[in-house]
Amino acid sequence: MTSSPSQAEAGCPLTPSTPGRRVEVPEALQRGRADADPARPRWHVTPPWGWLNDPNGLTVQPGPDGEPLVHLFYQHNSHAPVHDLIQWGHQYSADLVRWTDLPIALEPGPEGPDALGCWSGVIVDGPTDPTDPDGPTTPTMVYSGNMGGPTQVGCLAVPAVPPDEDPLLTRWVKDGANPVVDVAHVSVGQDLPEMRDHSVWREDGRWYQVMGSGIPGAGADGAQGGAALCFSSEDLRTWTYEGPLAVGDGDVSATGTVWECPELSTVPGDGGTADVLCVSAWHDGDTMRSMWMTGVRTGTRMTVTAQGCSDLGENYFYAPQSVTLPDGRRVTIGWMQLNGTQEQRIAAGWAGSMNVPRTVTLAADGTLRFAPIAEFETLRGDQVADLDGEAAAAVELRGRSLDVVLSGELGGDPVVIDLLASEDGSRRTRLMLSRRAPVGDAGQDAWTGWLSLDRTGSVEPGSPCEGEETRELSGPVPLGEDGGVELRILLDRSSLEVFVNGQPLSARVGSDPADERVVVHGAGLTRARLRAWTMDDAYGERLAAR
């Protein structure tokens, strides 16, 4: 099991027992610190200041000119970069690359079911008039209200004015009937250790949702298994418990004992389309990793036949949410967790970013593959390398904001790439791609490549930019025939995302702002080709502090 920079470890209990803010830093001070922080990513989604965790309410809606805009809401605390009394922050984008801040969309109530936080949820096009479920629709938030108990409750909010009068969807009003799903012992008829988060869909004229939970005794050998609990409804307001859609085995080194942020979606690809259940495995306050599962779904039950790890960086791609774009691509966005101590985050003025949006497809071997959305290429600035053969296999570049694509055929020797390296080489973040013997004949077990990231040499011990978390991250990656590989590195200051033939590894990396050498030792590659670009910033002016 991994130790993680989870909310609990950061001195931020997931469920504060008493209302009231624990830390308050003036917004202008936070914003000034965030703007000045050299570690803050410039083309990954970040909050304008303060705290960010899960993506929420990912939805495509017509903008002011009728063209589609993507709205991304997120778990946010504008009062300090700590997890506390969570609001829904809000940004929108026309291309999923360049984002604009909007005012906070949802705040905890002074009292009531979300007084201790508006936790994760989604937006669906729900009925404008609940008594006419098949009539006109309006964007409807389904989110978890935190009342401080062990299980959260389901709540709704809708635009305060019709969307054509406020097309950026900046004002929301909570439903007077909240909570629409009560605590577990009322809504499920059983006490459960955790219950929260929503994935909502409509099928055959009825609404369905899954909420994340864990069921004591339902895993292997009587363990507590993570669970996606299924509910159904006529109108999004009155919900009937249908039982678990799927339950995990409770392995604390893999599937966890609680599933957060379950999401059921349909993923397209060469191998046909598949129902995919994505869950974020959690155990005892530890946000472990995001996992995908495929199988056979019959209504409200799913038999899982294959599963995999969404990102070898484990909880650096957590609580993802996906959406289908108008052109049919399925795109997912995850939370790339923070690093460092609470003091370091307060000094930085911000904490947490999203991963780069990724297209998700189903490959012929039944695994999911992820790729940065193509629109990211529009952020490429100067091309700093375009090399072939031996020249591509032994290169030195410079930069802390780069898009690097290295392809070729991997032989017996590994490819080693040092990033964020100091002039004398004493500090470096080391990526290594090598071959491995497969451990099975299906799915990720059959893959023959191995990718690892070593952050132990990223900074000198005791440096002010040292991240507290430097565990090695590694795992299998698919190689093509003859070892064919395309390795893509997206480096954005402290945010690092690596894709090898569609399998990502993400991580946050602490480094000295002066360290910017990239050294490629690619002798293990034949037919090598290397291209690299600097990346432009994606944000214009950020939100003004109030």
Q: Is 54 in the site for ligand FRU (CB under 6 A)?
A: yes
First vs last C-alpha separation in the chain: 42
Minimum distance from residue 229 beta carbon to ligand FRU (Å): 13
Instruction: Indicate the residue among 55 and 475 with the shorter CB distance to ligand FRU.
Output: 55
Residue 345's H or E segment, with its range, is helix 342-348
**CB–CB of 540/100 below 8 Å?**
yes
Minimum distance from residue 63 beta carbon to ligand FRU (Å): 28
Report the amino acid identity of residue 513: P
Q: Is 84 in the site for ligand FRU (CB under 6 A)?
A: no
Instruction: Indicate the residue among 469 and 516 with the shorter CB distance to ligand FRU.
Output: 469
Minimum distance from residue 278 beta carbon to ligand FRU (Å): 13
Degrees to nearest 5, angle at CA 171 with 28 and 76 = 45
From the list 184, 171, 177, the residue with the least C-alpha distance to 215 is: 184
From the list 417, 434, 382, the residue with the least C-alpha distance to 488 is: 417
Q: Which residues between 10 and 29 bind ligand FRU (CB under 6 A)?
A: 14
**CB–CB of 477/430 below 8 Å?**
no
Degrees to nearest 5, angle at CA 22 with 18 and 25 = 155
From the list 53, 104, 23, 87, the residue with the least C-alpha distance to 347 is: 23
Distance CA(379)–CA(22), nearest Å, equals 39
Instruction: Indicate the residue among 70 and 86 with the shorter CB distance to ligand FRU.
Output: 86
Minimum distance from residue 144 beta carbon to ligand FRU (Å): 5
Of positions 12, 80, 86, 104, contacts ligand FRU by CB under 6 A? 86
Minimum distance from residue 83 beta carbon to ligand FRU (Å): 6
Total binding residues toward ligand FRU, as defined by CB under 6 A: 15
- Residues 6+ away with beta carbon under 8 Å from 521: 393, 394, 415, 416, 417, 418
Compute the Cα dihedral for 308, 313, 318, 323 and give only its sign: negative
Minimum distance from residue 411 beta carbon to ligand FRU (Å): 41
Minimum distance from residue 7 beta carbon to ligand FRU (Å): 7
Of positions 197, 403, 418, 454, contacts ligand FRU by CB under 6 A? 197
- The residue written with tokens 């690097």 in the block is 404
Instruction: Indicate the residue among 213 and 501 with the shorter CB distance to ligand FRU.
Output: 213
What 3-state DSSP class applies to 183?
Answer: coil
Q: Is 198 in the site for ligand FRU (CB under 6 A)?
A: no
Distance CA(257)–CA(282), nearest Å, equals 6
Q: Around 20, how many Cα atoms within 13 Å sit in the side-chain half-sphere?
A: 3
Distance CA(277)–CA(266), nearest Å, equals 9
Q: Is 261 in the site for ligand FRU (CB under 6 A)?
A: yes
- 3-class secondary structure for 85-148? CEEEEEEEECCCCCEEEEEEEECCCCCCCCCCEEEEEEEEEEECCCCCCCCCEEEEEEEEECCC
Instruction: Indicate the residue among 230 and 485 with the shorter CB distance to ligand FRU.
Output: 230
Q: Is 260 in the site for ligand FRU (CB under 6 A)?
A: yes
Minimum distance from residue 20 beta carbon to ligand FRU (Å): 17
Minimum distance from residue 120 beta carbon to ligand FRU (Å): 3
Q: Is 311 in the site for ligand FRU (CB under 6 A)?
A: no
- Residues 6+ away with beta carbon under 8 Å from 111: none
Instruction: Indicate the residue among 53 and 361 with the shorter CB distance to ligand FRU.
Output: 53
Distance CA(544)–CA(393), nearest Å, equals 46
Minimum distance from residue 261 beta carbon to ligand FRU (Å): 6
Q: Write the binding mask 312 to 331 for ligand FRU: x where contact by CB under 6 A, - elsewhere.
A: ------xx------------
Minimum distance from residue 521 beta carbon to ligand FRU (Å): 37
Q: Is 53 in the site for ligand FRU (CB under 6 A)?
A: yes
Q: Is 119 in the site for ligand FRU (CB under 6 A)?
A: yes
Q: Where are the alpha helices (DSSP H) in 180-225?
A: 184-187
Q: Write the binding mask 262 to 301 for ligand FRU: x where contact by CB under 6 A, - elsewhere.
A: -------------------------x--------------
The residue count of the chain comes to 546
Of positions 120, 255, 344, 495, contacts ligand FRU by CB under 6 A? 120
Q: Is 196 in the site for ligand FRU (CB under 6 A)?
A: yes
Of positions 46, 59, 75, 367, contacts ligand FRU by CB under 6 A? 75
Which residues contact ligand FRU by CB under 6 A?
14, 53-54, 75, 86, 119-120, 144, 196-197, 260-261, 287, 318-319
